[in-house]
């Protein structure tokens, strides 16, 4: 297959996706700021930004995939991989001058276990449905980590592009 043929095939496969994005409606930028407000000496807040088409789910993942042994088959160990780090799924849509947002936010870490070959997964999971005023940052969640004495705030700012 020639390079030109490959390019034409790739363009043909991507054309429906490009059309779907054009028809999706307005584009927004959502900035998630996660800060550890329980520790005055904590490092600067972490910021995660997504560019979203209206009514189209966007996913942001940063972190690692951690192997978890799930059993054996034919003498070989079988694994399932768990995403740890920051995972954000987000959908937005305009509602009477405000922007409705649904976001699933998952903050997780893997901690080595003394009792098992598999690590322990420490996880904080948020499911947020809210309305936002474009350009105005809002704290959408504030919580105490049950495993530590830390307190977290999740702030979101939405901008129409």
Q: What is the CA radius of gyration of the chain?
A: 20
Mean pLDDT of 53-68: 94
Query: Can you give the three-state secondary structure of 67-133, one letter per residue?
Result: EEEEEEECCEEEEEEEEEEEEEEEEEEEECCEEEEEEEEEEEEEECCCCCCCCEEEEEEEEEEEEEC
Average pLDDT, the chain: 85
Comparing C-alpha atoms, which of 32, 61, 58 is closest to residue 45?
Answer: 32
Mean pLDDT of 52-62: 94
* Percent of the residues in the chain that have a pLDDT greater than 90, as a whole number: 53
* Percent of the residues in the chain that have a pLDDT greater than 70, as a whole number: 82
Distances (CA, A) of 12 to 19, 23, 64, 135: 11, 18, 33, 38
Mean pLDDT of 54-60: 94
Query: What are the domain boundaries of the chain?
Result: 26-160
């Amino acid at each position: 297959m020639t390079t030109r043929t490959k390019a034409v095939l790739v363009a043909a496969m991507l054309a429906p996706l490009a059309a779907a994005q054009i028809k999706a409606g307005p584009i927004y930028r959502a900035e998630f700021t996660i800060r550890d407000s329980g520790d005055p000496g904590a490092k600067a807040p972490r910021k995660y930004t997504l560019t979203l088409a209206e009514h189209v789910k966007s996913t942001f993942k940063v972190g690692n995939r951690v192997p978890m042994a799930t059993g054996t088959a034919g003498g070989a160990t079988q694994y399932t991989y768990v995403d740890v780090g920051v995972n954000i799924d987000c959908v937005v849509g305009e509602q009477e001058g405000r922007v409705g947002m649904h976001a699933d936010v998952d903050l997780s870490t893997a901690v080595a276990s003394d009792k098992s070959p598999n690590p322990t997964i420490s996880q904080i999971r948020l499911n947020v449905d809210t309305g936002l005023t474009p350009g105005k940052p809002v704290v959408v969640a504030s919580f105490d980590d049950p495993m530590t004495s830390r307190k977290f705030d999740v702030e979101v700012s939405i901008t129409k592009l």
